Amino acid sequence: MYLIIDVGNTRIKAAVYQNDSLLELVVFDKKRIISEIKKIVKKYTIFKGIISSVATISKFKMDKLKDVLPIVELSHQTKVPFKNNYKTPKTLGVDRIALVSAAVQQFPKENTLIIDAGTCITFDFVTKEGKYLGGAISPGIKMRYKALNTFTSKLPLLENKEIENFIGDSTDTSIHSGIVNGVCNELDGVINQYKKQFNDLTVVLTGGDTNFLAKQLKSSIFATPNFVLEGLHTILIYNSKND
């Protein structure tokens, strides 16, 4: 069995895999990482683990984790199943590395655009030859709501909400339209840009806002909330075979 640990900006996801099957997914606060991982290791016979961290994990906690089980700490130096053509590989987020790894494993020989709708919205493109070219980074939905509230004196802080009409008839509905309608048009627009250059494009939508956005997009997509975890599992298996 393998343990996959995805450390986000606010929460940690820990997934137990047996072969290619997900046995259990646990979500918890970053402060409880050591105690929660110990519980999982005690419950299952874990052979090896991998950790991806977009937020800071102290060296002390990382050393503690490595005392609990053999663990791969994902970085730009980790072996991955694709060719990285990013000009600044050291700055490429580990979550994006995981997403591309999942894409080449699940959609081999397909031009694939992965959209991760979370704190930020990231776009990552890998060719059918397995070459990662890069993509884009944009503010996420919650970040946009917070920006309107933070950088103005009177606009309220709202939660994301599906819009009934793109023409807002109040301050609240205007904010919802500006953000939600704007994000959906941004995503559809970017997808169409890629389709103009790559006719046989596969599009994957993942991240915390997957379910909220999937039904509102005009483009045909594969919606899968746990694509990062699947990519980390792919990287761990890839490295285990190449040890």
C-beta atoms surrounding 51 within 10 Å: 24
Name the CATH superfamily housing domain 83-231.
ATPase, nucleotide binding domain (3.30.420.40)
Token pair in block for residue 149: 């509230």
Q: Is 209 annotated as a binding residue?
A: no
**Residue 199 confidence (pLDDT):** 82
Round to whole Å and give the CA distance between 116 and 95: 9
Is 192 a known ligand-binding residue?
Answer: no
pLDDT at 70: 92
Domain ranges of the chain: 2-73, 83-231
List, by residue number, the catalytic residues: 95
201 alpha-carbon distance from chain centroid: 19
User: For residues 240 and 243, what is the distance between their CA atoms, to the nearest angstrom?
Assistant: 5
Q: What is the pLDDT of residues 124-159, one digit of tens each?
A: 999 999 999 999 999 999 999 999 999 999 999 999
Q: What is the pLDDT of residue 145?
A: 97
Q: What pLDDT, on the 0 to 100 scale, is given for residue 57? A: 82
Q: Do domains 2-73 and 83-231 have the same CATH topology?
A: yes
What distances in angstroms separate CA 104 from CA 51, 123, 124, 128, 234, one per listed residue?
20, 15, 12, 8, 9
Please identify, in words, the CATH class of the domain defined by 2-73: alpha beta
Residue 225: what pLDDT? 87
Known binding residue 6? Answer is yes
Res 242: pLDDT: 65
Q: Is 140 annotated as a binding residue?
A: no
Confidence of residue 237 (pLDDT cuts 50, 70, 90): very high
